[in-house]
Structure 1
Amino acid sequence: MNNTVYLAYDYPVLGAFWTAMWVFLWVLWIFLLFRIIADLFRDDSLSGWAKTGWLVFVVLLPFLGVFVYVCVRGAGMGRREAQHAKSQQHEVDEYIRKTAGSGGGSSADELAKLAEMKSAGHLSEEEFQQAKQKILS
């Protein structure tokens, strides 16, 4: 007697579901692998040899390497990602401030603002003259 059990392929929809699930898990694993490699290169606390060791481990034994990396260094991955995003945002903000400040308004507009500040009493005559010289030079 042949007691073979065909679980998924007796029902084609179930077979398609299992195939879709395995593809999803494979894509998820590939995504995690790239995140780990990016985290390795982003981390300034690791030496070059430690980064090389982790990279060789993750590349030569991919499944085991990824799981061990997540267990050992996974807690800091989110912190390093947030720090990287914060530094990128800071750089973008600095660039916007620099470009908007340098080419923003004309010197006539800046002089008009200075005159308004002086007439409102926010600037003394001496401060007004210093700022005016700075704008005109």
Structure 2
Amino acid sequence: MFNKELFKERLFEQIRFSGKSINQVERELGYPRNAISNYKNGGEPSGTRLVELANYFRISPEYLIGQVSFSDKISSQELFNRMDFDQKNEIGKLYLNWIISNLNISNDMKSGSNKVATRRVNDNI
């Protein structure tokens, strides 16, 4: 079933993630001006357009129209590339804190330096 609101939300989310304007995406896909903007007003894409848009953003058509809650086509690298600086910064902090707390840390790190190192990660990144 086609969910117009979810389609609109996910399409414009993908455009934001790409860092491109609507007009730029339209040009790159060879669409006439305002073709994508029409979807804001409740327009539905043809089957061909739906597949083209999904391929362009490297997501599944099923995700785009709301049939599934996630897209299995996106790689972790692509997901990371779509994050803004603050999101990448937060991932970095989580990763470094995980490394500090989960890897085999020397005894002197475990005895107190671990807390200092964790604080440094949170303060400096």
TM-score (norm: length of structure 2) = 0.39
Higher relative contact order (Cα pairs below 8 Å, separated by 6+ residues): 2
After TM superposition, the score normalised by the length of structure 1 is 0.37
Structure with bigger gyration radius: 1
More helix by share: 1
